[in-house]
Structure 1
């Protein structure tokens, strides 16, 4: 089963992440312009490395999706905030036909693992998602799994931080069964470029709100 790991300067975290991949899970590290040797570290630890020069979280995710070849594909962050050993929690329900998209609901293992500003921003977006699409999720968790061909059919367009939200919105609109399961959320390795800073969190929230507005406008016009 292929695992897409968007990566921007995660050389410090990658050894831990890649050595904890469960048997049968193949990491695809999508280097999104790293300057710290992340691609070389990933290759040295047996990962397939795909380079995506276009900046953006969604661009990296999409490049990994195109590079994947397994029926079911997983996504997760490469910063050691998520333990790869939890991947079966999101992948198994899809493989068993019990769900079409499974999100890993983050449960912080320490007080500092999930900063308050990031947690609040996520909660607001999850509430909007429940209202806009009727999807009963509490977290837009970055560890997730679904069927590759079905995801490609959704034709996700966002290439920034709105990609995870657009995936859920389009999946719900297509009648997918969207569920979530608890996964441990750990303090990330190195300095966070998004949730660890207020500016990064606000940028991600702004991208996701733009996706929500577009979805609402599309619904109204339809």
Structure 2
């Protein structure tokens, strides 16, 4: 008892309950831990607790990553301003990381003398610098900015204040009230570059080449970045968008470089941008992109646009006035937006991140193991899901389990019994590589599917088709009483 009181006397008030429980019922083989990074023995000391207490030593909030190549004179001005601005934010902890790309001036010495951590990048180019900085960053947020004073440190405050509104905050030159002080030719080329990417890839953004950004670290940690030059900025932002992360642009006044020479080579970087555009075009038009379903609703390809809208019309008509609905494999479909009482389920987090904008409850789960009680929903929707999973009774049993007696089941899938679908799927493979047709693994025919559903206790009420190929079936679950 005396040992216990002695130990409790050496920890802060907020940790007492945790420590008291561990001392009363100690784990069999692991030492007491204040957090997962700090193993401590039961012989706790005041000094060791002060070192590891999560309240006295909160997690680092911000990592500032600055790529630099012969920027010693600029860093001498930038870093003191950074420290002043970030300290005034009231963050619980931050670090400054200068990624040195092989400077021959005093970049490293200046950075070290001004409390920055120096990392010597191993991979070439601006992209290599960002990747190195991301890997070494410890903060919950990662701020990136240039070393040449073109990014005003005072602008960090409005970026920080906006961090709850999106996972990526971009200081944008090309939104209303934004501006860029740069040579005329360079500004024209910058505008052309941004519009080519945003219009060509259907991105609702304006400035995807700005390097002044605040990321939630989870958006870029472990991101498979391929670009090595300044085109990395486009790749990172497009990959964030494809993962369903929210991106917010706030107007920013870009300033001219204060000292030194720019490291941009138009010819070399122009070729890099073309290669990146091609890779990002493939990503944007594949099912890997979080907004694939939503974007198809407004597709520039008339058959694709019609298909999405006709499917939406039939499903929402079948679900009208049904009561509580469960949309399994909801993706980023606008069905969620059109129904009042609906819960969306999807196994892919990127799809759910995108669908947050609909303001409906979302659950990350599998159709093989739905996390809902029996007889919870009046209507269950499974549109374009069952052909993407291995043939099994379990998904149908799960749908029946969570559906109330006499509830509706809306089941949509291609009808492989129809020649029209087999022709369309062949064209789909060729014209839209990376689309959903590439993921079909189980084929259903209407007659066979209806017989199976009858065995599961469902009665067919209606059957509609999209272009005579995709069947959307409305079932009613028979009363099991």
Distance across 2 between alignment mates of 1:203 and 1:178: 29
Map 1:33-182 → 2, pairs under 5 A: 33-94=102-163, 96=164, 98-106=165-173, 107-108=178-179, 113-131=181-199, 132-138=201-207, 140-182=209-251
Separation (CA, whole Å) in 2 of partners of 1:165 and 1:91:
22
Give the TM-score normalised by structure 2: 0.42
Contact 2:167 2:246 in 1 (8 A): yes
Runs of 5+ consecutive residues of structure 2 not aligned to the other structure:
1-61, 286-431, 435-481
- SS in structure 2 at match of 1:104: strand
Shift of 1:92: 2.7
Q: What's the CA shift string for 1:67-95, capped at 9, x where partnerless? A: 1101111100011111112112223322x
> Conserved in 2, the CA contact under 8 Å of 1:118 and 1:201?
no
Distance 1:53 1:155 in 2: 17
The one of 210, 213, 219 aligned to 2:275: 210
Q: Does the 8 Å contact 1:102/1:146 carry over to 2?
A: yes
Q: CA deviation at 1:104?
A: 0.7
Residue 153 of structure 1: how far off its partner (Å): 4.2
Instruction: Compute the displacement of 1:118 (Å).
Output: 2.0
1:10 aligned partner: 71
Bigger RCO of structures 1 and 2 (CA < 8 A, at least 6 apart)? 1
Matched residues in 1 for 2:70 and 2:179: separation?
Answer: 23
Equivalent-residue separation in structure 2 for 1:105 and 1:202 (angstroms): 25
The DSSP-based 3-state class of the residue aligned with 1:120 is helix
Pick closer, same or farther for the CA change 1:179–1:129 going to 2, 3 Å.
Answer: farther
The answer to whether the Cα contact below 8 Å between 1:56 and 1:159 also exists between their aligned partners in 2 is yes
| Contact 1:103-1:144 within 8 A present in 2 as well | yes
Change (3 A) 1:146 1:133: farther
Aligned partners of 2:189, 2:281: CA distance in 1, in Å? 19
Counterpart contact for 1:27–1:47, Cα < 8 Å: yes
Write out per-residue CA displacement over residues 172-212 of structure 1, whole angstroms, 9 at most, x where no aligned residue.
111222221122322212233235xxxx2443343223211
Cα deviation digits, residues 139-193 of structure 1 (max 9, x gap): 5211001111221243222122211000111111112222211223222122332
2-side partners of 1:90 and 1:129: how far apart?
24
- 1:138: Cα distance to partner? 3.6
RMSD across aligned positions (CA): 1.9
| Cα offsets for 1:92-115 (capped at 9, x unmatched) | 322x2x112111113557xxx411
Identify unmatched segments of 5+ residues in structure 1. none
